[in-house]
Amino acid sequence: MFNLFKNKNAEKESLDKILAKSDDYKCIDYFNQKTNVSFTLKFLTTLIDEKTVQESILPYLLEENFKEIDDAKEIIPLADIQISEDISQIEDKLFTGSVLLTVNGKENKFCFLGARKEIGRNVSLPEVEFSVIGPKESFVESLDQNLNLIRKRIPVKELIMEKLTVGTLSKTKVAILYIDGITNPENVDTVRQRIEDIEFDEITDSSYIVQIISDNQNSPFPQLLDTERPDRISAILAEGKVAIFVDGSPHALIGPTTLVEFFSSFEDYYLNWILSSFFRLIRLFAVVFSILVTPVYVATLSYHYELIPQDLMNTLVASRRAIPFPPILEALFLELTIELLREAGARLPTKVGQTIGIVGGIVIGTASVQAGLTSNILLIFIALAALASFTTPVYRIGNTIRLMRFPFLLFAELWGLLGIVVCFSFLLTHLIRLTSLGRPYLEPLYPPRMQDLKDAFIRLSFDKQRKRPFLLNTNQPNRFHKKAAKDKKDIEDE
């Protein structure tokens, strides 16, 4: 017993020693004016709010009737006060913004006073997932602020929030959110288990978590949806999915998810269902177009020019007559140019980036056609494909689509249309095999589930959205009760 006590003291001393090396560590002795008790405050100036110390802690400790440590709770007007004898807590508390109070001579009992300094930005407009209609708030880096945004939208006791800590160095706080009674506990268990199993030192963003807990880490496809929109999170929680928040990241994660979900913008739910279905179809068409147009161009011009009707062929031949390269080099040249422009645009400040985009796009494009390096028809295709790839509402999947084009190009060069089919089959197989938190990624296409098609390629009206997604196997499959069957009205009935 004595030994243990001594060890603990040694631990505290070594902590003091290490802390003393940091200049922001303060350890100050004071005397109470009434009782003459001497006490010490220890804190890290960078983490605590000095105003709280000066206004809500020190005056009371110095002037009130402070005899022993237990009095602190009565005399200090703070909500977050904790009295403890557990030395192992000290490091943790000091580094999350608490002031350590000890009465000199009675060091085995101490008090933590919460005086955390909050530095963070305010809630701002969503930048990645901007929408014209709908709420204009987006998450920020502070976990508490983000959770506040969600709690405000779902003010029910069933909204459960579990906190975990991951990362040996970063000690990042991760919150798992779900609605008890709706979400399938299996999904929550999977998420919790995978987050608990994370072995990494520094988790700086939710993107780390996505990559670490994905079912297949060797896939270019994102297997958890990330969003910066609180409205999207509250909607998917109501569907029965699980949300993951990471402290320090303005992007929350959603799982399990499907491929189609990456092509649905949240604005789809703010528009009338006919319009939003149309836009969704356009977006899906854009994706297919963006991936396939250059490979098909290369395949047809390298191998199957018989495919093209004669009139169209004349135009194509005229535009390619002066070009010294085979179609594949021509296409690769332009694709790489576009990729370069995009990378340059992404790395530069917004205003310069725009200029680079315009200058690069117009000048390089026109110049390369005039110089006879590429045909203007291909230039049109490539520009359209690039434009189409920007229609993806989720940034992550847009990157995947950017990459997808290149294997298709290579296969097209190898075996023409046949190569495209082979490459497509590889992609299809990969997608069939992929899962998100153990649920099929290609659902509702495969396994085919008619019920979930109501909100996939098209979005049906809200009265048709009575069932929660079958994919999630929720505890409560109905979103609302069907009203008693309405009589079908005839013309001019009241």
Partner 1 sequence: MNSNVPNSKKISPFLVFFLIHTMQSGVGILGFQRIIAKTAGYDAWMSIILTGLVVHILLWMMFKMLKIADGDITSIHTFVLGKKIGKIFSSFFILYFCLFTITVLRSYIEVVQVWMFPELRTFWFTLALLILAIYIVFGGFRTVAGIAFFSIILPFYIDVLFVVIIPYSDFTNLLPIFDHSVKELLLASRDMSFTLLGFETLLFFYPFIQNPERSKKWAHFGALFSTMLCIYLAILAFGFFPEAQLQKNTWPTLAMWKIIKLPFVERFEYIGVSNWGLVILPNICICLWCASRLAKQLFSIRQKTSVTAIAILCLIATSLISTRGQIDLLTTYTGKVGFYFNFIYVPLLFAGTLIAKKVRNREKHT
Residues making contact with partner 1 (CB under 8 A) = 303-304, 306-310, 312, 415-418, 420-422, 424-426, 428-429, 432-433, 442, 446-448
376-389 helix and 395-433 helix, angle to the nearest 10 degrees: 90
Query: Residue 277 CB, nearest distance to partner 1 (Å)?
Result: 20
Query: What are the C-alpha distances in Å from 160 to residues 177, 242, 249, 250, 398?
Result: 6, 10, 20, 20, 32
Query: Residue 431 CB, nearest distance to partner 1 (Å)?
Result: 9
21 burial (CB, 10 Å; 0-12 / 13-18 / 19+) is exposed
230-239 helix and 143-153 helix, angle to the nearest 10 degrees: 60
- The residue (of 47 and 308) whose beta carbon lies closer to partner 1 is 308
- The residue (of 345 and 444) whose beta carbon lies closer to partner 1 is 444
**Helix, strand or coil for residue 125?**
coil
Phi-psi region of 103 (alpha: psi -120 to 50; beta: other; left: phi over 0): beta
From CA 429, how far away is CA 416, in angstroms rounded?
20
- The residue (of 181 and 447) whose beta carbon lies closer to partner 1 is 447
Query: Residue 415 CB, nearest distance to partner 1 (Å)?
Result: 7
Query: Residue 220 CB, nearest distance to partner 1 (Å)?
Result: 15
- The residue (of 363 and 422) whose beta carbon lies closer to partner 1 is 422
Query: Residue 440 CB, nearest distance to partner 1 (Å)?
Result: 8
The amino acid at residue 437 is: L
**Bond before 295 cis per omega within 30 degrees:** no
- The residue (of 44 and 420) whose beta carbon lies closer to partner 1 is 420
Query: Residue 290 CB, nearest distance to partner 1 (Å)?
Result: 18
Q: In what order do the strands lie in the sheet with 225-227?
A: 159-166, 172-179, 242-246, 252-255, 225-227
Query: Residue 316 CB, nearest distance to partner 1 (Å)?
Result: 11
DSSP labels for 274-316? HHHHHHHHHHHHHHHHHHHHHHHHHHHHHT-GGGS-HHHHHHH
From CA 178, how far away is CA 239, in angstroms rounded?
10
From CA 32, how far away is CA 26, in angstroms rounded?
19
Query: Residue 219 CB, nearest distance to partner 1 (Å)?
Result: 13
**Helix, strand or coil for residue 481?**
coil
N-term to C-term CA, the chain: 86
Give me the count of residues in the chain.
494
Query: Residue 446 CB, nearest distance to partner 1 (Å)?
Result: 5
- The residue (of 93 and 439) whose beta carbon lies closer to partner 1 is 439
Query: Residue 304 CB, nearest distance to partner 1 (Å)?
Result: 5
- The residue (of 312 and 371) whose beta carbon lies closer to partner 1 is 312
Contact 100, 83 (CB under 8 A): no
Q: How many CA atoms lie within 13 A of 305 on its CB side?
A: 12
Contact 319, 377 (CB under 8 A): yes
- The residue (of 115 and 259) whose beta carbon lies closer to partner 1 is 259
Query: Residue 228 CB, nearest distance to partner 1 (Å)?
Result: 33
From CA 351, how far away is CA 342, in angstroms rounded?
14
- The residue (of 36 and 310) whose beta carbon lies closer to partner 1 is 310
